[in-house]
Amino acid sequence: MTPRLAGVGEILDLESSSQRFPATLLEEKVATRLREAGASEASLTAATRAMLHASLVGVDSHGVRLTEHYCNMLAGGRLNKNPQLKVDIRAAGSAMVDGDDGLGHYAAYHAVEVGIELAQKAGVGAVGIAHSSHLGAAGAYALAGAERGFVTFATTNTDSMVALFDGAARFHGTNPLAFAAPVPDSRPWLLDMATSSIPMNRVLLHRSLELELPDGVAADKHGGATTDPNTADMLLPLGGAEYGYKGAALAGVATLFSALLTGTTLDTDFIPMYGGDDISTPRNMGHFVLVIDPDKFVGRELFGAMITRYLASLRSAPVREGAERVMAPGDREWEEMAHRQQEGVPVDPDTIRFLGL
């Protein structure tokens, strides 16, 4: 049977088509490769952390398979090997972080820390990021805030690869929206979703694994739907043929926060992440992080009690015929993480070769 995408979230079943490796080994290999490419310890630590998060929760498209791409961009000069982050506090609850054209993971994790400091004083910390690069899995940064006890939102816009609703050309990026919230005595509530049907990295992963794409997620260069990853030229917005206007509009939300509020690059103006000849010019990507301190609203204790009650009610809701249970955002990811920590992380053949596994 051909492995297919899971019905909820973006976990790809690589069970039958990839070898598995311990997360600790992957962490070591990824860090070594980035170090060999010249990345500073601070920036490679952040990138490794974000990629391992993605690989462990099953977002393989944004996991360790991106190591080779980042190394190529470091070698080509697009990425600053030793970025010096700068923080400009604009108001009590707002700031800008300059990523100095380094690995985007470094700037994003730092923006979460800045947001937490602002939120502890002002209740909210809204942080824009400029002069950055590919963000990776946005959920990694939302999770970083939630693990510190803060409700956190993270987003980015990316280069055009998603058609508009009823469109026949690339316009928005995959433009993820990620939200996370702390839950007492439990893993955080976590939503990390692309506003496209799937990420473009997933198309590349399917090419590497020679797997067919699901229906209704990608289109060829003429805008016609295709399941062949080798002819897929663009993605379709979340919601499909009938409701894709919702995904297309949500992609615009990511652009509003990440590009318009930060004064960075619009989706249609990006140097392509893949396929271009220019790997030396920085892309000036923008991201956005919003951190909220529950203590400055209802109070941390009552918030914790409320979200615990909410999630208990959600998970005990009636189940439709044929379904096993209702899951909250994050449930599937934490189960996949536990499975991969025990059984190993699946890695595609191209990445096995590059990491020397």
pLDDT of 194 > 80? The answer is yes
Average pLDDT over residues 189-218: 89
Average pLDDT over residues 327-339: 97
Q: Which residue has the tokens 């970083």?
A: 144
List the chain domain ranges: 19-302+334-355
**What number of CA atoms fall less than 13 Å from residue 231's CA on the CB side?**
10
Q: What are phi and psi of 55, to 5 degrees?
A: -65, -35
Taken in order 298, 304, 306, 311, the sign of the CA dihedral is positive
Whether the CB-CB separation of 234 and 244 falls below 8 Å is answered with no
The Cα–Cα gap between 85 and 163 comes to: 34
pLDDT of residue 201: 72
Phi, psi dihedral angles at 209 (to 5 degrees): -95, -5
The region of weakest confidence among 167-181, 238-252, 298-312 is 238-252
Average of per-residue pLDDT across 192-212: 87
Q: What is the pLDDT of residues 104-160, one digit of tens each?
A: 999 999 999 999 999 999 999 999 999 999 999 999 999 999 999 999 999 999 999
CATH number of 19-302+334-355: 3.30.1370.60
Over residues 276-301, mean pLDDT: 96
- Model confidence at 14, in pLDDT bands (50, 70, 90)? low
The tokens for 70 are 């980042």
pLDDT at residue 70 is higher than 80:
yes
**Of 195, 199, 202, 203, nearest in space to 243 by CA:** 195
- Mean pLDDT to the nearest integer, 191-210: 87
Cα 83 from chain centroid? 21
> Does the pTM of the predicted model rise above 0.85?
yes
What pLDDT, on a 0 to 100 scale, did the predictor assign at position 16? 54
Find the mean pLDDT for residues 188-202.
Answer: 90
The answer to whether the CB of 177 falls within 8 A of the CB of 155 is yes
User: What local confidence, expressed as pLDDT, does residue 107 receive?
Assistant: 98
Mean pLDDT of the chain: 93
Residue 80: pLDDT band (50, 70, 90) is: very high
Task: Kindly give, in sequence order, each residue whose CB lies less than 8 Å from that of residue 20, ignoring residues fewer than 6 positions away.
Answer: 340, 343, 344, 345, 346, 347
Judge contact between 135 and 270, C-beta under 8 A.
no
Residue 124, SS3 per DSSP: strand
Residue ranges of alpha helices (H) inside the chain are: 23-36, 41-57, 67-76, 104-122, 139-146, 200-209, 240-255, 300-315, 331-343, 349-355
Examine the pLDDT at 225 and tell me if it is beyond 60: yes
* Distance between CA atoms of residues 96 and 130, nearest Å: 7
103: helix, coil or strand? coil
**pLDDT tens figures, 28-58:** 999 999 999 999 999 999 999 999 999 999 9
DSSP state for residue 271 in the 8-state scheme: P
Q: Whole-angstrom Cα distance, residue 265 to residue 159?
A: 9
189, HSE (Cβ side, Cα atoms, 13 Å)? 22
Determine the pLDDT at residue 10.
41
> Counting every residue, how long is the chain?
357
Structure tokens at 95: 């700031």
